[in-house]
């Protein structure tokens, strides 16, 4: 199923961090509805915006929204960094983070245990992050916070929890991540 992930609590939580922390050349990885790319344009510290998604429908939708709002950005279809060569000051990632459920839904499926996609992203992101760049990463308690911390440590990142939101069935976390 190739539907676009519509903004929900996680999107609105990330939006606050994008307004506060995003700067320079920004990549909205897994742009979905384009909410974070559009929000980035409202941040005066942001100089350029790239939006990427594996889902062609999401890429097309984000471009259409940006054009309708007069927001200059580059949109690219890519499986994580496969078609991306640039480096960025800010990489935003609100990934699919739920453990695999049937039927699989691309916009929600983070892998068998929920953290596999995040792990793959973090391994690739380092080479696309400028020296003083940051990653804004959102994930859920259903993803396993300890496992995310372990992946970050293993990949030699520094990280800090900058926001969280308690929901009925999970807790959402936003990390600000830097290279060590």
pLDDT tens readout for residues 112-137: 555 788 999 999 999 999 999 999 99
Mean of the per-residue pLDDT values of the chain: 89
Tokens linked to 80: 């994580």
Hey, where are the domains in the chain? 9-179
- For domain 9-179, which architecture applies? 3-Layer(aba) Sandwich (3.40)
Confidence label for 97 from pLDDT (cuts 50, 70 and 90):
low
Three-state DSSP state, 41: helix
pLDDT value of residue 49: 97
Query: What pTM was computed for the model?
Result: 0.90
What pLDDT sits at residue 100? Answer: 56
């Amino acid at each position: 199923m190739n539907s676009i992930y519509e903004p929900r609590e996680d999107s609105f939580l990330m939006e606050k961090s994008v307004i506060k922390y995003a700067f320079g050349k920004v990549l909205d990885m897994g742009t979905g509805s384009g909410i974070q790319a559009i929000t980035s344009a409202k941040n005066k510290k942001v100089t350029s915006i790239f939006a990427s998604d594996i889902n062609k429908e999401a890429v097309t939708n984000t471009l259409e929204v940006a054009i309708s709002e007069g927001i200059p950005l580059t949109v690219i279809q890519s499986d994580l960094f496969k078609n991306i060569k640039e480096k960025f000051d800010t990489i935003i990632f609100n990934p699919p983070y739920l453990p695999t459920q049937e039927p699989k839904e691309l916009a929600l499926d983070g892998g068998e245990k929920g953290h596999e996609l995040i792990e793959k992203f973090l391994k690739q992101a380092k080479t696309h992050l400028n020296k003083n760049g940051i990653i804004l990463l959102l994930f859920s308690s259903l993803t396993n916070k300890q496992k995310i911390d372990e992946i970050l440590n293993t990949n030699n990142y520094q990280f800090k929890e900058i926001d969280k939101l308690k929901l009925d069935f999970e807790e959402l976390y936003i990390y600000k991540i830097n290279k060590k």
